[in-house]
Amino acid sequence: MKKKIIALLMTLAITVSLCGCGAAKKSADSSYKIGICNYVDDASLNQIVENIENRLKEIETDKKVTFEIAYDNCNADSNVLSQIIANFNADKVDLMVGVATPVAMSMQAATEDSKIPVVFAAVSDPVGTGIVESMDAPGSNITGTSDQLDTDAIMNLILAQNPDISKVGLLYDAGQDSSTGAINDAKAFLESHGIEYVEHTGTNVDEVSLAVDAFISDGVEAIFTPSDNTIMTAELSIYEKLADAGILHYAGADSFALNGAFLGYGVDYANLGRETADMIAEILINGADPASTPVKTFDNGTATINTDICDKLGLSFDELSEKYAPFCTKVEKIETAESFE
């Protein structure tokens, strides 16, 4: 009898031990709930979301897991954003994904107590906005991918096309934290080269359109915009006006060029989306700690030129490619469209 009791106790001990291990890390056939929130409906951010979801489907097959994805878009409305995140918390998601800086910042604040892992995508200045402590060691429960922009590279493209340029416009949304650092870098570059600049801002399509009117009156020869989601959303409404005025719009993502800007320069957002999905999988499946998972950055070397705008302004894509080659990893062409195919 005594031996039976001892055997039973040992069996119970082993069972408790195994249960404890399973609580720390789900098994390979587990299901994970993921809440994805997009900041606004634009070509760049939509491309990121699409590639996150497609890559997660591939990982489901490879790893034999299931991802239950809840997707929403706050359309730049802070109240809607707060409600979406509250819903994710109520649904007890295993991980949240914040696409763009405002979403990442809100998710960070909303998970301080719960410590639900957060993976952000396309945050231009994770350290400057206080989302992470450092790029190598983010700290707390958050990490992700950054589309940090090499502003000097774009300025060099402007000079390569027009070495005698005398006035540049800076177009952005002053409320977009992701634009602050890049605009300051652009000002420093232009000042160091003795080039005059004027700046106009907007928070919606109508205001951005008025800002473009002001630039035309100011007589700027080119306009720079960082990876600013507000301007990206307005690009389809302003590109014809800029082209008619002969003003070249240089911006911090290929999606601007897709929507009619003269040139977009920056990261491959499709690849950024896939890499974001890989980070999600590492955290959920392999138990990686967000606090010690370095923020992923990317090569900013691709310049995408809109050939429709080139034709309208009498510019040669081949000649521009030759001028830009020393400052880019590659130069690509694109035609105006509303979204990526």
Helix (H, G, I), strand (E, B), or coil: what is residue 34? strand
Residue 8: what pLDDT?
A: 42
Do the domain assignments include residue 172? yes
Give the pLDDT band (50/70/90) at residue 341. confident
* Model pTM score: 0.84
The DSSP bridge pattern shows strands 222-225 and 248-251 to be parallel
Count of structural domains within the chain: 2
Q: What's the pLDDT at 74?
A: 98
Q: Identify the pLDDT of residue 70.
A: 98
pLDDT at position 178 is 80
Question: In terms of domains, do 115 and 201 share one?
Answer: no
* pLDDT value for 177: 84
Q: Is there a single domain that holds both residue 165 and residue 127?
A: no
| Together in a domain, 248 and 215 | yes
Q: Is the same domain home to 203 and 254?
A: yes
Q: Please tell me whether residues 99 and 183 are part of one structural domain.
A: no
Q: Are residues 208 and 326 in the same domain?
A: yes
User: What is the average pLDDT across 64-74?
Assistant: 98
Strands 95-99 and 118-121: parallel
Q: Which one has a higher pLDDT value, 3 or 250? A: 250
How far from 98 is each of 71, 142, 211, 273, CA to CA, in Å?
10, 10, 29, 12
Domain for residue 221, yes or no? Answer: yes
Amino acid identity of residue 46, one-letter, is: N
Nearest in space to 43 (alpha carbons), one of 212, 261, 220, 247: 261
What CA dihedral angle connects 321, 323, 326 and 328, to 10 degrees?
-40
Same domain membership, residue 227 and residue 211: yes
306-329 tens-digit pLDDT: 999 999 999 999 999 999 999 998
Q: Starting at the edge strand that comes first in sequence, how are the strands of the sheet with 142-144 ordered? A: 66-73, 31-38, 95-99, 118-121, 142-144
pLDDT of residue 24: 39
- Other C-beta atoms within 10 Å of 20: how many? 9
Residue 248 falls within a domain, yes or no? yes
What's the pLDDT score for residue 253? 93
Which residue, 101, 7, 97, 1, is CA-closest to 52? 97
pLDDT for residue 25? 52
Structure tokens at 46: 């939509």
CA distances in angstroms from 168 to 37, 130, 241, listed in the order given? 35, 30, 17
Across the range 242-247, mean pLDDT stands at 98
Containing structural domain, residue 63: 30-147+269-292
| 341 domain-assigned | no
Q: What pLDDT, in 10s, does the model give residues 115-166?
A: 999 999 999 999 999 999 999 999 999 999 999 999 999 999 999 999 999 9
State residue 154 phi and psi, 5-degree precision: -65, -40
What is the rounded average pLDDT for all residues in the chain? 92
Same domain for 282 and 210: no
Question: Could you tell me if 219 and 242 lie in one domain?
Answer: yes
- Looking at residue 26, what is its pLDDT? 58
Q: Provide the CATH number for the domain around residue 227.
A: 3.40.50.2300
Residue 105 resides in a domain: yes
> Rounded to the nearest 5°, which phi and psi values hold at 77?
-105, 115
pLDDT computed for residue 16 by the predictor: 37
14 part of a folded domain: no
* 217 and 305 co-located in one domain: yes
End-to-end CA distance of the chain: 73
Confidence band of 300 (pLDDT split at 50, 70, 90): confident
pLDDT on residue 158: 98
- Confidence band of 83 (pLDDT split at 50, 70, 90): very high
Residue 15: pLDDT band by 50, 70, 90 thresholds?
A: very low
pLDDT at 303: 97
CA 182 from chain centre, in angstroms, equals 14
User: What would the pLDDT profile of 206-234 be if each residue is shown by its tens digit?
Assistant: 999 999 999 999 999 999 999 999 999 99
Tens-place pLDDT, residues 154-187: 999 999 999 999 999 999 999 988 899 999 999 9
327 belongs to a structural domain: yes
Residues 89/67, Cβ–Cβ less than 8 Å:
no
Residues 189 and 159 in one domain: yes
- Residue burial 218-253, b: 16+ Cβ < 10 Å; e: rest: eebbbbbbbbbbbbbbbbbebbeebbeeebbbbbbb
**Do 200 and 115 belong to one domain?**
no
Sign of torsion over alpha carbons 11, 17, 22, 23:
positive
